Amino acid sequence: MNLSAKASLYRELAKLVGAAFHLDRALEILLGQQPSHARRAWLLGLKQGLGGGLGVAEAVQSHNAAFSGPLEVTLISAGERSGRLADAFSHLARYFEVWELGLRQMRAALVYPLVLAHLGIILPEIPALVTAEMNGTEDSPARRILIYVLVFWLLLVLVAMAWRWVSRRGTESAAVERWLWRLPLIGAVRRHWALARFAQVFHACLLAGMRMTECMRLSGEASHCGVLRQAAEDAARKIATGEMIGGAMADVHGFPLIFVHSVQTAEEAGTLDREMNSWAASEMIEAQDALQRATAWMPKVFYLLVVVYVVYRIFALVSGYFGEVSRLQEMI
């Protein structure tokens, strides 16, 4: 399922479960709406798991692993254990809505630079194309244009594949994630989303009454961030020895200092659950703002690269023209 489909699914589940519908009845209602193939498979998987005596989170993890990630399983598990399953579904719906909106804006913003890139490939070849047609030569520039376009798209695919691999490595490796955090525009998006996921899961785990070490580890895993995953694991070991949560987070590397200070004061005041909920909401807003900034600036960077390429092609064309003129003059 894509992000939009997930947002819609969790929104409908939150609506029905929040209205005191039993989950089995909610699944029957949603299955009766002629859902898409992926949505139907998810609903049937959950229904099958519940019918086999599994809990909601266990059913999602065992029967819908192809559709659901660690964040979903953790939030659903915490919501189930705390009796706030509707809230867990609402959190997931809001998360996927915001994420899908940002990606849709970024894709829309990249359309214009892609069009310019193709124009940058084709326009410098038009004079040569006209000349070839007039002279009837077999070496048509149309072949070169096709090759350039294919190479351009091959490079885009390779860059996308490389980024996907590096991004996945960042979810496991703290060193890779720190390097990604240094990237302009993109780094801020990754930092804020990771902390939003961490705080959101930690809040849900607190409401479920889980042990602090379990809250810390589950939140680190659900953050999809190598830095926070490692920091959470280190902090959990310190908490297991009797150290306070805020003190353990301050002793390890990875958590933002202002976040650590907020946790320390909230822990002393006994308002840690509200503090985590507040951080989850604010970091999600910050992540959306960072994504919008990236959406505004990345097309401009792409546009600049296209302009540089077109200028280079123009100079190469003019240089080739004067070179040909000079060669003809020498022959005369």
**In the block, which residue shows the tokens 């890139």?**
117
Q: Give the three-state DSSP class for 161.
A: helix
Contact 310, 123 (CB under 8 A): yes
Determine the length of the chain: 332
* Cα dihedral: 246, 249, 254, 256 (round 10): 10
pLDDT at 160: 87
Look at the chain and report how many structural domains it folds into. 1
In a domain, 64, yes or no: yes
| Mean of pLDDT over the chain | 83
pLDDT tens, residue by residue, 215-268: 898 888 888 889 999 999 999 999 999 899 989 999 998 899 999 999 999 998
pLDDT at 231: 93
Average pLDDT over residues 283-291: 85
pLDDT tens, residue by residue, 289-331: 888 787 777 777 777 777 777 777 677 666 655 655 565 566 6
In a domain, 171, yes or no: no
Which positions ≥6 away from 118 have C-beta within 8 Å? 149, 152
Query: What is the domain range of residue 18?
Result: 3-68
Average pLDDT over residues 267-276: 90
% of the chain at pLDDT higher than 70 = 89
Lowest mean pLDDT among 130-139, 169-178, 244-253, 298-307: 130-139
Token couple for 115 = 């069009």
φ/ψ of residue 281, rounded to 5: -70, -45
**pTM higher than the cut 0.95:** no
Q: How many CA atoms lie within 13 A of 206 on its CB side?
A: 17
Contact 216, 239 (CB under 8 A): yes
Residues 75, 88: Cα–Cα separation, whole Å: 6
Lowest mean pLDDT among 1-15, 50-64, 138-152, 215-229: 138-152
Average pLDDT over residues 61-90: 82
In a domain, 97, yes or no: no
In a domain, 123, yes or no: no
pLDDT above 80 for 57: yes
pLDDT at 86: 86
In a domain, 285, yes or no: no
In a domain, 261, yes or no: no
Residue scoring higher pLDDT (100 or 29): 29
In a domain, 53, yes or no: yes
Q: Residue 83: left (phi > 0), alpha (psi -120 to 50), or beta?
A: left
State the Cα angle at 39 between 37 and 43, rounded to 5°: 115
In a domain, 22, yes or no: yes
Which positions ≥6 away from 229 have C-beta within 8 Å? 171, 172, 174, 220, 221, 223
